[in-house]
A and B are shown apart, each in its own frame.
Chain A
Amino acid sequence: ILNVEQSPQSLHVQEGDSTNFTCSFPSSNFYALHWYRWETAKSPEALFVMTLNGDEKKKGRISATLNTKEGYSYLYIKGSQPEDSATYLCAASPAAGNKLTFGGGTRVLVKP
């Protein structure tokens, strides 16, 4: 079982500002890292799946990087908009099996 941590737990961002937050996981016995966005009253939505050290993924104004050697991933939001307000979850899986361990999430509130 992996220990996945996210920081900060919550953050407020002014509309138009960029922000980033962290997901950390044990660098040993790591296989894949997932990012999800969970808006209130909706289903968690998959953003990225990454597995290789140095992976970078981008979806619109949101991007993510992965460092498997030191055990962290950053998620970036460029030019935050109110619709970016959500809880962002990361989840990691060990080499064996398909079970994801989720972090506690970073709750992002973008203020107009």
Chain B
Amino acid sequence: GAGVSQSPSNKVTEKGKDVELRCDPISGHTALYWYRQSLGQGLEFLIYFQGNSAPDKSGLPSDRFSAERTGGSVSTLTIQRTQQEDSAVYLCASSLGLAGSLYTQYFGPGTRLTVL
């Protein structure tokens, strides 16, 4: 079946602009995660959604970052007033459920964001 998809694959923007990154999880997966990898860094957790529960936003680096998940499926990560340090690969992942972390997370191909 279809895997996790993300769009756009690449985004170049100017400092101060807002950007939206989209994630389509695997159908039936109730958990959705956003991560980012900055140059030379490991994968950094940003936020996750599980069903109708309140999202865990503990990894969002600043209030310029927000995310929503509509209808328990598609998610959008929004970065307002982008800064150069926001340049990174943003990865989305989905999994079957939250109950403990034994569920494999399936990753999308990522969006490479470059802020000039």
Contacts and interface: CB of A to CB of B under 8 A. Distances in A.
Contact of A32 (B50, B100, B109): B100
Given A43-B4, A98-B98, A89 B42 contact: yes
B31 interface: yes
Contacts of A91: 43
A34 to B, nearest CB: 7
B101 interface: yes
Contact of A93 (B58, B101, B108, B109): B101
B2 to A, nearest CB: 13
Instruction: Give the size category of B's interface with A.
Output: 20 to 34
A112 B95 CA distance: 36
A90 to B, nearest CB: 10
A62 B104 CA distance: 17
A89 B43 contact: yes
Instruction: Give the size category of A's interface with B.
Output: 20 to 34
A58 interface: no
A44 interface: yes
Nearest to A47: B104
21 contacts: A31-B101, A32-B102, A34-B104, A41-B109, A43-B4, A43-B108, A44-B43, A44-B93, A44-B107, A46-B106, A49-B104, A51-B102, A98-B99, A99-B58, A100-B101, A101-B45, A102-B44, A103-B42, A104-B41, A104-B42, A105-B43
Interface of B: 3-4, 31, 33, 35, 41-45, 48, 50, 56, 58-59, 91, 93, 95, 98-110
Question: What 9 A-B pairs come out closest when comparing CB atoms?
Answer: A93-B101, A102-B43, A104-B42, A43-B107, A46-B104, A44-B107, A32-B101, A98-B101, A98-B98
